[in-house]
Structure 1
């Protein structure tokens, strides 16, 4: 293994796995830290953790364990993969985990860049933009678990980290890899501007000898070339059979996708109160899915005001945990009943589904949308979508792609 990735959620892991696979690396996404050794022919291993919103000490411990396993497989460079909207809180977990990894690896200057231009994420003058809006004006300020109320990543990371936080500005990045490398000095996390894919490719070249980087999937665009890898399309064998759409994300993009899909397919909406009370019977919902003539959707996506009401009633994490537990129980029951295609929206929901299925590793397939690959776990095809990713008709498109050849 040449490159190791520690992802703080499951959709982020498949996102960067796709970037590396399309750039020519052989990639496997592991669900948690594996017990045994990886295939010696593997170029990159991506370990998916559910650490983004975990208690800080648990997030650090899991990340260090992942780092140790990746290094034991031969990985000479580690990427700490975070969301392209830098999802965190003033307490972490990005800063504390990054500090721990830097100390563990003896890393001095650490590039930090969540930019993903293909999906509208750019970093300029240290500020994160979503399209033409600052992060805190993009809808992310209403996120139920990690509300992002400041677009200045220097301030965000400084509040979380014990290290100095610096900045590599766009005019330096645009001079190329040599200029970027010259700017990497001191024991600091360096917010690095990136506006285009060309900027990210230059950052990748500049990072060739760094032990640690942090960013979104875009930060991996330039890394495979450091190992003489050439772009390719990942293989895919068609998966047929019944499908289901799950959605737990409350992002603006996902709620639009839910509305579009609900106009053409049977829909079952999960009520937070009933989920907390344990009112839903898994067998009843499996039977409802089996009775549908078109691929149904089961979702808990709601307006932020509705989510806040549930949080106020039960506590910030209680309703979310109840809904995740519901999806974790439902997914394997549906697969046992013959469902073979699962499209899942939301990082926490995706983590719950994959954990419920008991998957230990996922094969990276071709892209269903920017940042979203098709995945294979045994006979089951999955697409794990970050809340903000994909176009309005993503659900139907991903289901159709699963049945086609690459």
Structure 2
């Protein structure tokens, strides 16, 4: 590397990781997102980096597998000499004691990095995620779209097929996953001086808090949180934090204020992409609405039988017919959406995210190989990590920010048909009804 890194993050899925990639890039940090912790040789091919990320799979893992994976990954990131290591989680805190345990990630990071406490920041106001007195609220969709709900009453998250939100108080939710005591810096404390916030944090540590949760309702509050977190940053002993892309927004805002980074104020226009290929394993009602919009606006659709793919012993045989259907549509000049009929997936909680995501990635890879598709969109947080791996992606770097939380990127994929292509990965809750139209046009209408 030609300069020290400010931050390295490990994302618990792919769409969440591109979210962090975007907000670090917005802050002015040149960032590359890798599929696996990069080797020195790989890093040498990406010049001028301020930050790196790793798009992991831990959101869909049981705690024991998470622990094994994260011990290796965190150790590799610690070697990079970065001021901060961030475990990036979804802003809706998707997790449970059995799957994607954020508590287990905190335990691993706390033990490895040996710092006084672990800051926890879940709120991301620009994405419609808010934390008030320890309780998490989320907009249905992201940004300015949709109604805000307390998480345990959220129409989508309360019915998530793998990790349904049953408790909005993050401290109570986390207590089921770790025995570490969690303190809170609440909204009333954030309105005071920076010294008061720092003193309140010290007092919580002295009273036994090993995790400290920060409220936030506005982006302006993130800067104070970022200043506090960065005061603990040290390249010799990186400071470990956990949270949504709110962590990256907070640190980025602070670094911009100090002059360490220069925020990006405009993005290039990537232009339209016809035909556009969309693949969705999401069961979110937000994505369902976007699929309905695409269908009503001329997209051809190929509907996968998710149960058949799940039960298939030979995945390639299960997807071959769908590939040919999609190729036929592309040959006629149509934009195509390949999806798993999310409602049906929601009814079968035992369906494998790995099998579905891998199948979507195989379909994308083969369609791109045989057609002139140059831009690919993947929807669905749980399946996206597996889809990216099946596509053969090594890393992605941002091209432009079209919709908050889901940047358009350029893929580096040695030996794959997707090498150099434009790719977009979005979580199930992200975007307005015309999201796929925006990605087709390459601009916000």
What is the TM-score when the length of structure 1 is the normalising length? 0.91
Q: How far is 1:236 from its partner? A: 6.9
Q: How far is 1:363 from its partner? A: 0.9
1:222 aligns with 2:250: yes
Equivalent residue number for residue 250 of structure 1: 283
Greater shift in the superposed pair: 147-156 or 215-224: 215-224
1:291 aligns with 2:326: no
Structure 1 unmatched ranges of 5 or more: none
Greater shift in the superposed pair: 181-190 or 339-348: 181-190
Of 98, 118, 134, the match for 2:150: 134
Of 309, 313, 329, the match for 1:275: 309
Greater shift in the superposed pair: 237-246 or 148-157: 237-246
1:125 aligns with 2:133: yes
1:163-188 deviation per Cα after TM superposition (whole angstroms, max 9, x unaligned): 11111111111224333222223251
Of 53, 69, 75, the match for 1:68: 75
Contact 1:13 1:46 survives alignment (8 Å): yes
Contact 1:270 1:299 survives alignment (8 Å): yes
Q: Distance in 1 between matches of 2:272 and 2:25?
A: 20
Q: Distance in 1 between matches of 2:131 and 2:79?
A: 33
SS of equivalent to 1:86: coil
Contact 1:34 1:360 survives alignment (8 Å): no
Greater shift in the superposed pair: 151-160 or 130-139: 130-139
Contact 1:121 1:130 survives alignment (8 Å): yes
Q: How far is 1:308 from its partner? A: 4.8
1:400 aligns with 2:408: no
Contact 2:274 2:440 survives alignment (8 Å): no
Contact 1:240 1:402 survives alignment (8 Å): no
- Alignment coverage as a number of residue pairs: 397
Contact 1:22 1:231 survives alignment (8 Å): yes
Structure 2 unmatched ranges of 5 or more: 140-147, 233-238, 313-317, 412-418
1:329-361 deviation per Cα after TM superposition (whole angstroms, max 9, x unaligned): 112112212321111111123212211111111
Contact 1:113 1:214 survives alignment (8 Å): yes
SS of equivalent to 2:230: coil
Q: Distance in 1 between matches of 2:131 and 2:193?
A: 16
Greater shift in the superposed pair: 28-37 or 378-387: 28-37
Q: Distance in 1 between matches of 2:166 and 2:231?
A: 34
Q: Distance in 2 between matches of 1:28 and 1:331?
A: 22
Residues 391, 402 of structure 1: alpha-carbon distance in 2 compared, 3 angstrom cutoff: closer
Equivalent residue number for residue 358 of structure 1: 392
Q: Distance in 1 between matches of 2:14 and 2:223?
A: 24
Q: Distance in 1 between matches of 2:384 and 2:440?
A: 16
SS of equivalent to 1:223: helix
1:106-137 deviation per Cα after TM superposition (whole angstroms, max 9, x unaligned): 12222211111112110001000013311011
SS of equivalent to 1:78: strand
1:166 aligns with 2:183: yes
Of 196, 216, 225, the match for 1:194: 216
Q: How far is 1:220 from its partner? A: 1.3
SS of equivalent to 1:96: helix
Contact 1:21 1:234 survives alignment (8 Å): no
1:98 aligns with 2:106: yes
Q: Distance in 2 between matches of 1:357 and 1:239?
A: 22
Contact 2:319 2:363 survives alignment (8 Å): no
SS of equivalent to 1:367: strand
SS of equivalent to 2:385: helix
Residues 239, 27 of structure 1: alpha-carbon distance in 2 compared, 3 angstrom cutoff: farther
Contact 1:53 1:93 survives alignment (8 Å): no
Contact 2:161 2:347 survives alignment (8 Å): no
Residues 332, 395 of structure 1: alpha-carbon distance in 2 compared, 3 angstrom cutoff: same
Equivalent residue number for residue 208 of structure 1: 230
Equivalent residue number for residue 346 of structure 1: 380
SS of equivalent to 1:267: strand
Q: Distance in 2 between matches of 1:177 and 1:247?
A: 44
1:80 aligns with 2:87: yes
1:181 aligns with 2:198: yes
